[in-house]
Amino acid sequence: MILTIDETRYEDAHQRDCARVAALLSDGESHSRPNVSEALQMTSTTTSRVVADLLERGLVIGEAGEKSGRGRPAIQIALNHSRLGATVVLMSSRSLLGVLVDLSGRVIGRCTADVPESADNETMAARMRGLINSLLTDLPAGMSHMGTSVSVSGVVNERDRKWLITSRWPHVRDLDLAAALAPVTPVVFVCRHLDAELTARTMQDGAQGRDSTLLLHWGWGIGLAYSVEGEPFMSASNPFGEIGHWRFNMLDQRQCGCGNHGCLETAAALWALLPQLRASWPELSEDEERVAGQLTSLDIAERPEIATAIHLMARSLGNVCRLLFPKRVIVTGPFVGNTALWQAFSDAFQAEGIMSGLALPVLVADRSSEEYAILGAVRPLLNLGLETFIRS
């Protein structure tokens, strides 16, 4: 369930009842008024008043149910997922993906924009505004646009809604996304792509939600997200999880896009390895989805640069586990689909160990999920939008 409605946030009794009914209907099922009254322990008079209000404002739709016995059939009501919508902008290799999402989290529109590596703040902001405007052109009749969530890679200050650093676009620095997008959207949320993906994964997977889970992305860049019992561990105003910029003495001569030398990414990230791999396979793409399929069948695990990357990634993950002690580690990105490479990485991580007497976390290889990233990014915006709508 993507909506999490907290009725205690409302001081007005009628608004609180509206929120309770909306929360019940957010399960996607149809309900009769008597069923709503019973489930929420509300009087029939209160239920009728609340449902009438929500029907009038279009948040709820109703239709006659099947007739049972004598009399008119009961009216079945359901949440109108098309009443409210939000836009999401997220990174896809060196492109931007824009999607329009309804109240259920379903994607009902999408468009893309290529962004050159040379792009600066102005270019990036213009591309994002263009995506949002394009999506709003196709906004369904009767749908209100609640705002935009921007899910970015790299280093982000969520509280101030600033995108600080990204390895994909080295000239994008300290981009104030709230100010840049204000002309085209009423509300701007900013989150890190990995945090959004992990939030959605734990929300929809009961086992992951009960454990401490680490999501490590090994792709164009390298970073991680962490959650405990389904709650993401992050800092709203400071960076977190940027292990791709941990520094190693053996890499001191290598310059990183962050401005330092010796970062893990300079030996293990796709942006650093791709030029060397293209010497043998010039057709390799820099798009993570495409290159993931290309790397699956290639004999790369024994190459010296890959062996170094495996060693450094396993050592880094071992150190992270000695800090956070997760029960489960999910590794995503284009490298993990190569069977030999994944086996070598798993073996190296097993050899690292944690501490004497402590078991290693469960290690899982998986593909990055666009669906999870969208749901995780849009969820807080949908909840805020619904709350604002009920208060209006």
Query: Per-residue pLDDT tens for 146-155?
Result: 999 999 988 8
Nearest to 246 by CA among 221, 265, 267: 265
Nearest to 193 by CA among 136, 147, 142, 241: 241
Instruction: Name the pTM for this structure.
Output: 0.86
- Residue 68: predicted pLDDT: 53
Rounded-to-integer distance, Cα 198 and Cα 366, Å? 12
Q: What percent of the chain has pLDDT over 70?
A: 94
Question: Which residue type is seen at 267?
Answer: A
pLDDT band at 229 (very low <50, low <70, confident <90, very high): confident
Tokens of 42: 């509300």
Rounded to 5 degrees, φ, ψ at 151 are: -110, 115
- The answer on pLDDT for 6 being more than 70 is yes
- Residue 66: predicted pLDDT: 53
Q: Which of 17-26, 88-97, 216-225, 236-245 has the lowest average pLDDT?
A: 236-245
- Mean pLDDT over the full length of the chain: 90
- The answer on pLDDT for 208 being more than 60 is no
Rounded-to-integer distance, Cα 346 and Cα 367, Å? 16
- The answer on pLDDT for 206 being more than 80 is no
Rounded to a whole number of angstroms, the distance between the first and last alpha carbons of the chain is 24
Tell me: the pLDDT tens digits for 326-351?
Answer: 999 999 999 999 999 999 999 999 99
User: How are beta strands 84-92 and 95-102 bridged, if at all?
Assistant: antiparallel
